[in-house]
Structures are given as structure tokens and as C-alpha cells.
Structure 1
Amino acid sequence: MDPIKFIEDKRQEVLKIYQELHALAEPSWKEEKTSRYLFEKLIDSGMKVKTFPGHYGIIAEIAGERPEVIALRADMDALIQEVNGQVQANHSCGHDAHSTMVLMTALALSKTKPKHTIRFLFQPAEEVAGGALKMMEDGALTNVNFLGGVHLRPSFEIPYGKAAPIILHGSTTTLKGVIHGVQAHAARPEEGNNPIEAASLLIQAIKQIRLSNVGRYSIKITELHGGTVSNAIPETARFTFDLRSETNEGMKALIAKTDHIVRQIAQLTETKIDFSLDDEFSPAAVEHPQAVESAECAISAILGKENVVPICVSPGAEDFHFYTLKNPSLSATMIGLGCGLAPGLHHPNMSFDLEALIYGTKILTKMMLEADQRNWV
């Protein structure tokens, strides 16, 4: 059967799978029921399926005529957030929708005879930016030349019935630290060393960071705690800064400058600053023209050329881009799917038009069929 017709015929099953995955909602690294649900569907289709003892990720494959692999990735985990006064796992980032569409793409293609081996990655722990790295450790990208992905987009980014062949996520990381001063009575400040004053100097110094030729970037204080009473200089002050850049090169430069400033302020204020600034930042997207072209062809075929949004720029982060950061020769792209999503991603009451699951699955299926006809170097 034609894979696109298969999806249309299985319309009700697509919606049912989404509803069942939505109800399972499990946090990062604890996607046990979600993984089992997907595993059973994949095994029943006759695909070769692999699981792992250290996490709940899944790799499923359709054997091709040659060993080179094209792959499609979904994330599985939910957020932990307050919903109507209760803290719970909640699918407000659309990972249940992503898993639904990739699963149905796998089922639609399972009876085909592709040129390439087609691999489906169901990844844990995207929300904590650890799942992609773990999947790569376990061989998820062995022989992979093309990798596709998908993410629901809010209506203010991409309207319903439209899609973009690439999402340009930015890079992000966090600076966390504790400034150790010397405690003293507020009446005798000369006997102490105020870590809050050191923190204020740090904030002002970091605000003066200037980078050139790296695109847009930002660094801002998001958390500062110090002291508990009005008449004493505290011993410590704790801080957090959020760092963002639209390019990986910009993030590397931002990290280097920030690291230098923190050390400089510690020396200037004669305080000790314990801090962490991880070089393993969440990476920015990199455009791969051939991969983007495959996605654009698929969107045009399903929705029409008039409904292709050339590019989706997002200030958010996505651990999908670890795959290309660690494998620069890999051609990859993530489709941005317009779906009537409101009020926004990560909002506890996020919702979208479920009809987007149908055309989203068709787009992914068409993209993999298109990718199978290409020669990936």
C-alpha cells in the first residue's frame, strides 16, 4: 500500500495513539511505560527493534538494499510542571505528538523496500539535554548519513496548515556559582567582605561583554540570593546567569569571556567564586542544504508550495542539535510544524489542532521517501 494512503486510512489510529501517549506522560529518564508502548507497536509491525539496559530509548529499523542509513528521531519525555495546582508530568512540549508521528511514519514505511536502511530513534530525556548524547553512546548514528526530526511550533511562529523545513534553534547554557565572602555585623562592615557587593560588580562586568561577527547573543542574571537578615553581611551569595547565542561559535566566545570575567572579579574583590560553566552547551542548529531541500520537497508535496515557511527561527534550545555538533558530516534538519498551538510551548495548558498529526505524519513519511532517493555523502 502507498504509505501516504496508509496514513489517511489509519487516521483514527493516529489520534488514538496520540491520546494514549499523552495520558502516559513520564519525565526525563523515566519513560518506561511510553517506551514499552512504542516498543510493542514497533515489534508488532515486524521491524527489528533494539532497547537498552541503561535508559528507555529505542532504535527500530527497516532493512534496506544497502547498509547506509537514513534516520528519523522523536523525543519521548514530558515536563514536570504545575498544572491546575498540582505538580505532575505534562506533555506541554509536544513530545507525545512527535512520538506519534514518527511511530506512524515507521508503520507506514514498514512494508516498503527502501534503498537505504531506515532507522527510527525514540529518544529519552530531551528536556534535560541528555538523551541525544546517550543515544549516540549506544550507536544510534552508526552509518547514518541523514537525520530528520520534527517539532510542533506555536501559531505565532508558524500558522496552522504550514510548515518550515528547518528550525534554527539557538545555543544555550547556564552559569551557576557561589561567591564566598566574609561574614560581619552590618555595623562593622570593614571586618567583612560582602559577597553581594561582589555579585553586583560581576553583574555589571558581564553586562559589558561585547562580541563581534558571531550573530545575536545574550547573557543575563536570572537568580541572585544572599543574606537572610538586615543587620549582617552574609557569608555567601548564590547566582545564576542564562547564556544564549544563535551560533555555536558565538557560544564558545561567550563562555570564554564569561569565564575570564568571573575569575577577574574574584581576584578584584578578594572573594572566592566557585562556579560551573559547562563547555558541553546545548548547541545551535546548523543548516544543511541537502537535508533542508528534502524536507521542503516533502512539505510542498503534502501541503503545497504556498504553505512552506522558508525558515523558523526559535530562541529556544533543542538537544537534537547534539547529533550534528558531535557529527559535523551528518546532514540533518528538524521540521517546524504549524499546528494551531497555543498559548505556547511549555505552557501547562498548551493545546493544538490534532489534524496536524495527520499531515505532519504524511510530511515525515514523504521526507523519508524523498531522502531514500538521494545519495548522501
Structure 2
Amino acid sequence: MEHNREQILQTYQELHQLAEPSWQEEKTSAYIREKLIRAGLNVRTFEDHFGLVVEMKGELNDVIALRADMDALVQEVDGKVRANHSCGHDGHSTMALFTALAIANSEHSFKHTVRVIFQPAEEKAEGALKMIEAGALENVKFLGGIHVRPAIEIPFKKAAPVILHGSTATIQGVIKGVPAHAARPEEGNNPLEAAAFLIQAIRQIQLKDAHKYSIKITELHGGEASNLIPETVHFTFDLRAETNETMNKLILKAEQTIKKISELTETVIESSLGEYSPAAVRNPKAMELGKKAITSILGEENYVQECPSPGAEDFHFYSLKKPEISATMIGLGCDLKPGLHHPKMNFNQGALVYGTKILTSLLLEADQEKW
């Protein structure tokens, strides 16, 4: 199957310039849709978001699929806050797009139906759930993805068949005390003092027989005057865990700790789980297909067994909600520096060419399986 290097690089550069935030990917979606339609493909759109699904019918109704994300971050770049592609989603969309185009233009006949999902709002960890709700996983037996990786994780021209993202979550809450003048503290109940107790108690959390995890305060807001005890304090805790099981234990322990501090300090503490992304789960069958695809394009010497990552990725909601699906995300070495989400992130764009070839090979390998 042919992959035109110049067209791949040009498309990436054009998508890079579009850069739209989560749930606002209108121009990005229209750009991708236009290229798919021009190739004679039927594209499914949605009324309530800018996600796309393109499908190429095979002999079977069983589906082998790819997923790519489309949204950009909103961050300060050179003194201006704007949408900025510093996580590589423009590259992911480029590779998935040209994989779809290569299959559409190929004389190879696929047994399985091939589906490519272009997903919105990955950065908010909400897009995968929306695509699942819209039926994007109907009849899917295999799901692949790809993500550009920092140079410190995977070297240029190498790739791994799985990225082992951890689970992340936030707990946000409000501590409500009793306001008073600072000259008469006995008349109030200081929520800032309750917050101090809570922070120390959270720091003491320990889980037995658990994988790597962390929980720490990342936001604390309260008080408007130096001589007043405030009524409320707002807080956020950031939670990280290597596995979903550990994250579940960590959330439960945090909730129990919050309840105890509320009782101890006689304050009202209302809290809720905010942003949440599940951890990756190794799928041996999908990983083996990933290995075959990588070695067929880059050779055995450029295969990396796995890519542990401290970050998160909402791709793993697909496996969490549909555990019967064989799924994996390819980690693509591309000399990415200084790092993901850095406003000056850049990488060797030539990696998009062999990344596209790996995705195409991945679907060819998946098509040979009996699902």
C-alpha cells in the first residue's frame, strides 16, 4: 500500500495550524472529512460533537478499528494563551487519515470491516466516552491507536506495541466553616485550619500491597482579607496510580479521610470526583499484533517491548467499558522534545511516515486473525 511522504507531511502541517480546543474541533473535523469524502469514503458525523467515523465494508460485519484524537491544548505560548498542538494529536489524525486513504486506494481485499474513529476532546478525558455512547465500538473486535512519545521514552525510528499509561483522577471539594473576625477566632470555625489538617492526613495515606501511586494537593483557595476568618475553602487533590485497581483503592481511602477530617474539625466538607482517566491494561493478543506490525516496518532491532508512561490517555476508556475488545496503543519514537504538553514541543515529522505504515500493517495483521 502506498504512503505519499510529501502529502503526509503537508497534511500534518495544515492540521497543526488549525489547532482547536476540546469540543471545538470544527475546522479540523471538516478538513479530515473533506479528504475522506474526496477518496470516495462514507463518513458518519454527529449532531452534538465534531467526531467522525469512516468505515470500509469487508466480507464480515466484525470490525477492526483505529482511533485517533483531534483536539489541541489551550496554553500560554510566547505570552499568548491559545490552542496549541503540543500533544501530537495533529500527527495522530494525520497517520490515521492516511492509513484510511491507503486502504481505500488499495487492491487488497479485507475480510473484516475496517473502521477509523476520529475522536474529539481527548484532553478533557471525555471524547472516548462520547464516541462509545454514539456506537463507535459496535461490532469492534480489535482497536488500535498510536501516540508520539518523548525521546526519553522511545528513541527515533523505534516503536513499542503498548503504552502503559497510569490512571489519573482529581478530587475537588469545598470546606465550609464559620466566618468570624480574626480578633474573635473563638466565634468561628476556620476552614483554612481544617484544610491544613486535611492536607496532612492525605499525605499520610498508605495502601497495602498496591502498585505505584500518589496523591497530593494541587489547588487551595480561601480567604479574602487578612483580618477575617473565611467561610469556605476550595481544594483539589491530584491522584495517580499505576493500575485501575490501585486507583479505586486510593479514591476510597481519600474519601474516607475527607469524612474523618470533616468530623474531627466539625466542618462540612463536600467533595466529588473530577477528571478521571483509566490505566492501560495489557492485552497480549493486541500487543503481539503490534509487535508484528512494528517489526515488519522497522525491523526486529527497532522493536521496544513496552513504553511505561506517567501520563494519561482516554483511549483506555474503550478497554474499560468494553473489556472484550482486544486493544492497544502503539508508542512511536520520533525524537520528541522537550516533552509532551510543553508549549515548544516538536518532533521529527518523518516519523509520521513510518507511523502510518505501522498502523496500516497493524490492520493487515488484525485482518488475518479470527475474532
If the length of structure 2 is used for normalisation, what is the TM-score?
Answer: 0.98
Cα deviation, 1:328-350, whole Å, max 9, x if unaligned, reads 11100000101010000011111
1:190 to 183, 186, 199: 186
| Structure 2: gaps spanning 5 or more residues | none
Cα deviation, 1:118-161, whole Å, max 9, x if unaligned, reads 10000000000111001011110000000000000000111111
2:203 to 193, 203, 207: 207
Q: Secondary structure at the match of 2:315?
A: helix
The answer as to whether partners of 2:219 and 2:235 remain within 8 angstroms in 1 is yes
One-letter amino acid of the counterpart of residue 283, structure 1: P
Distance 1:107 1:304 in 2: 24
The answer as to whether partners of 2:219 and 2:237 remain within 8 angstroms in 1 is yes
Q: Secondary structure at the match of 1:281?
A: strand
One-letter amino acid of the counterpart of residue 19, structure 1: Q
Aligned-pair CA distance for 1:281:
2.7
One-letter amino acid of the counterpart of residue 119, structure 2: Q
Which residue of structure 1 aligns with residue 224 of structure 2? 228
If the length of structure 1 is used for normalisation, what is the TM-score?
Answer: 0.96
Distance 1:65 1:240 in 2: 51
Distance 2:53 2:225 in 1: 55
Alignment of 1:1-377 (within 5 A): 3=1, 6-7=2-3, 10-110=4-104, 111=106, 112-278=108-274, 281-376=276-371
The answer as to whether partners of 2:149 and 2:333 remain within 8 angstroms in 1 is yes
Aligned-pair CA distance for 1:268:
1.1
Distance 2:188 2:133 in 1: 49
Aligned-pair CA distance for 1:230:
2.5
The answer as to whether partners of 2:16 and 2:90 remain within 8 angstroms in 1 is yes
Distance 1:213 1:47 in 2: 51
Aligned-pair CA distance for 1:256:
0.8
The answer as to whether partners of 1:259 and 1:277 remain within 8 angstroms in 2 is no
One-letter amino acid of the counterpart of residue 310, structure 1: Q
Query: What is the aligned-residue identity percentage?
Result: 65
| Structure 1: gaps spanning 5 or more residues | none
Aligned-pair CA distance for 1:237:
1.4
The answer as to whether partners of 2:25 and 2:70 remain within 8 angstroms in 1 is yes
Aligned-pair CA distance for 1:117:
0.4
Cα deviation, 1:68-107, whole Å, max 9, x if unaligned, reads 0000000000011111111111100000000000000001
Moved more, 216-225 or 229-238: 229-238
The answer as to whether partners of 1:171 and 1:282 remain within 8 angstroms in 2 is yes
Distance 2:262 2:14 in 1: 53
- 4+ runs deviating over 4 angstroms: none
- Root-mean-square deviation (CA, aligned residues, Å) is 1.0
Moved more, 178-187 or 348-357: 178-187
Q: Secondary structure at the match of 1:21?
A: helix
Cα deviation, 1:184-203, whole Å, max 9, x if unaligned, reads 22222111111111011111
Distance 1:162 1:11 in 2: 18
Task: Report the number of matched residues.
Answer: 369
Aligned-pair CA distance for 1:47:
2.0
Aligned-pair CA distance for 1:181:
0.9
Cα deviation, 1:278-302, whole Å, max 9, x if unaligned, reads 5x83100000000000011111111
Distance 2:228 2:217 in 1: 24
Q: Secondary structure at the match of 2:92?
A: helix
Distance 2:217 2:166 in 1: 18
